[in-house]
Structure 1
Amino acid sequence: MEKIALLVTEEQKETIYSLFGYYNWDVNLVDSDNEIAKVTTLSTQTSDIVHEEIEDGIEENQFLIEQDQECEECPFCFCKPCNTSENNRQMWWESEPQCRHKRNHSLRKEKYKYFWTMMFHREAWKGDRYLLRKQAALERDPKFKNYTWHKRDIMPNCVLKLVRGWHPNPENITYMGHLWE
């Protein structure tokens, strides 16, 4: 058996599990932090994975990306380096801005989901400063003044600026801003 090390997104991981499940192969996760590797065999039956996630109902980060302490912290996403930095460039990133169009909102939404996942794996959504910022934003919105639970996280300005640059609205259409639900 040969070892292969991969750094993958959540979507890529699910695709790999599906491929291995299709052929009834086992996936062995190796804990690379230990000198003596612990190997965990996971079921690749797609139905098993989906049902376990639904039954658990718990959102747990099983893949953590450490912050680089030598990099400067972004004042918007509180990550080191910033999620929009070239150091974090992903294959799905746009290489050049697209034309202004009224349907770009759907393209932006897709990119925001990818950035949400990047922030999730850096545990940026759990940071005290982010939670304070989110609470302050909730308190500014009169509809949600008495709510403590809400469905969405606030995308940081660094991400908004980059993604809106990739997929801009036409000049006569303003951006919607943050929607809580």
Structure 2
Amino acid sequence: MEKRCEMVLKVNEEERDKLMIFLKEQNMTSCIVEKKCIKRKRSKKDEKGSTSSSQRNIQDESGDRDDNGDNGDPDPGHEDIALREGQCPYCFITPCVATSNITAPWVGNGQPPSNANPQIRKGIYRRFWKCINNMYGWLLPQYLDKKKRVGGGEWVVMHQREIMPECVLELVRELYPNPVGIQYMGHMWE
């Protein structure tokens, strides 16, 4: 009897379909596939009419966008920068920095809501900041455009004030939530 191993993969639907085709070609039909969709929460900013990057990608594909750039507010240095295949719409890194580090020991397994969680999240955010910095994620044109939109224009800011991507925020806040009734601090520009 052969030894069976368990493997968990977090992939999107397109990647899942490709994996299923590959598994069928390899005659690995005894695999169990579970479909679990992770829904992202919409921020208040998105509800007020601001377009998130994932919504912007949907608009780009459907053609509901101006030809000159970012819905009438083009950035002269980076017009029409499209996401590459497999690139995260939040951190703009391939593969997503949050999903590629989800099993890292420094992320941990999470814990129930606690007053100690903000300090734990701070340490994890610093490590994600370093990961993104090592991959030059803070220098990507898409991120610089996002930073200008959120911050209100061209200006110089110390590098410690980079905007943490939503994919990282959601992962860390899901693992280490605040107690009920306590708001998340958010970014200094929000």
**TM-score of the pair, normalised by structure 1:** 0.53
Distance 1:88 1:79, change over 3 A: farther
On the 8 A contact 1:71/1:81 being kept in 2, the answer is no
Unaligned runs of 5+ in 2: 1-83
Does residue 81 (structure 1) correspond to residue 105 (structure 2)? The answer is no
Determine helix, strand or coil for the equivalent of 1:85.
helix
On the 8 A contact 1:74/1:80 being kept in 2, the answer is yes
On the 8 A contact 2:87/2:93 being kept in 1, the answer is yes
> Equivalents in 2 of 1:99, 1:153: separation in Å?
28
Unaligned runs of 5+ in 1: 1-69, 140-144
Q: CA deviation at 1:148?
A: 1.0
On the 8 A contact 1:107/1:167 being kept in 2, the answer is yes
On the 8 A contact 1:102/1:173 being kept in 2, the answer is no
Q: Residue 90 of structure 1 aligns to which amino acid in structure 2?
A: A
Determine helix, strand or coil for the equivalent of 2:174.
helix
Residue in 2 that maps onto 1:112: 125
Residue in 1 that maps onto 2:174: 165
On the 8 A contact 1:81/1:87 being kept in 2, the answer is no
Q: Deviations over 1:11-59 (max 9, x none)?
A: xxxxxxxxxxxxxxxxxxxxxxxxxxxxxxxxxxxxxxxxxxxxxxxxx
Residue in 2 that maps onto 1:8: none
On the 8 A contact 2:111/2:176 being kept in 1, the answer is yes
On the 8 A contact 2:88/2:94 being kept in 1, the answer is yes
Q: Residue 174 of structure 1 aligns to which amino acid in structure 2?
A: Q
The one of 139, 142, 146 aligned to 1:129:
142
Residue in 1 that maps onto 2:111: 98
Q: CA deviation at 1:88?
A: 6.6
> Equivalents in 1 of 2:103, 2:148: separation in Å?
30
Q: Deviations over 1:78-133 (max 9, x none)?
A: 111101114674221212x3110123111111000000011011100000110010
Residue in 1 that maps onto 2:76: none
CA RMSD of aligned residues (A): 2.1
- Report the structure, 1 or 2, having the larger strand content: 1
The one of 159, 178, 181 aligned to 2:187:
178
Q: Residue 92 of structure 1 aligns to which amino acid in structure 2?
A: W
